Structure 1
Amino acid sequence: MNPYYAVVAERANHRCEYCHAPELVFNFPFEVEHIIPLSKQGADDESNLALACRSCNLRKGTRISGIEPDSNTEARFFHPRQDRWDEHFQANVESGTVTGITSIGKVTVEYLEINSPSQVAARQLWIRLGLFP
């Protein structure tokens, strides 16, 4: 396990810092990931680490930005140490979807596939259990 796991998980309130999935419902700890990958000169310290579910971590990979679908311009991904989640995303408790409300939010939702059918179905269950948002 990553030596920073305890600090990063506590800071993230044991939620994926991208899709806000609750770690509690998984059968293993979430992953500690580099927000800016080491391959892109990201730091290897707590200021550049985030808690991520397996889905978000795999889909993010080493990317830090993408093409925003509405404007067709490049936008960076959500940065958990610099950005506030509720300024970039809105959760719909009726549908279980997460909407990007800024370019940063939109590109993050799109590239991390935060509204994939399995993500939405799981989120609807978490909502019923009072674990989301």
Structure 2
Amino acid sequence: MSGYISQNLRSQIESIDHKRCCYCLTTEANSGMPMTIDHIQPVSKGGLNTLENLCLACRTCNEYKSDTTEAIDPLTGELVALFNPRKQNWKEHFQWNNDASQVEGLTAIGRATVIALRMNNAVIVATRKRWFTIGWHPPD
């Protein structure tokens, strides 16, 4: 059951996640789009409405993630779990390229997540380039 997520829990998630996507780090302030609540472990696979299983995600990452929990690492060809923002550190699995327009996966988890969530789609890459030139990107 996806069920109700209380305003108190939503506020906690927004505070912890600094109003930015836990996957691609797009901020609500830069994008102008409200973040969505993502179930890290989807409800369809037994995920609950708990702080440990919920995070902010931009609409694009959330839609592409859908109920996916694993993806193929393009380097090794192995099936690996997607990045879990509540249990793993972003900087251990990802980095920005030189102009901060693309997210690069550093690990099998990072590489598989970048591909599965299409974190470097043409629209966001072009947008990140603009944000970079005016000093809005990359986030701290």
Same fold by TM-score, threshold 0.5 exceeded? yes
Deviation at 1:28, TM superposition (A): 3.6
Which runs of 5 or more residues in structure 2 are unaligned? none
Partner of 1:14 in structure 2?
A: 19
Q: Which string of whole-angstrom CA distances, capped at 9 and with x for unpartnered residues, describes residues 76-103 of structure 1?
A: 1110000100000011242611100000
Evaluate the alpha carbon distance shift between residue 93 and residue 129 of structure 1 in structure 2; reply closer, same or farther with a 3 A threshold: farther
Aligned residue for 1:56?
A: 61
What SS does the aligned partner of 1:83 have? coil
Q: Is the 8 A contact 1:93 1:124 kept in 2?
A: no
SS of 1:51's equivalent in the other structure is strand
Percent of residue pairs bearing the same amino acid type: 35
Do the aligned residues in 1 keep the contact of 2:100 with 2:132 (CA within 8 Å)? Answer: no
Please give the secondary structure, in 2, of the residue aligned with 1:70.
coil
Q: Summarize the Cα distance change of 1:129–1:9 in structure 2 as closer, same or farther, 3 Å threshold.
A: farther
> Number of residue pairs matched?
133
CA distance in 2, matches of 1:24, 1:102: 29
Q: Secondary structure at the match of 2:56?
A: strand
- Are the counterparts in 1 of residues 70 and 80 from structure 2 also a CA contact under 8 Å? yes
Normalised TM-score (structure 1):
0.92
- Report the equivalent of 1:74: 79
Structure 1 residues 50-106: Cα deviation after superposition (integer angstroms, max 9, x where no partner): 100000000000001111111111011110000100000011242611100000000
Q: Does 1:90 align with 2:98?
A: no
CA RMSD of aligned residues (A): 1.6
Tell me, yes or no, if the aligned pair for 1:68 and 1:103 is still in contact at 8 Å: yes
Q: Which residue of 1 aligns with 2:123?
A: 118
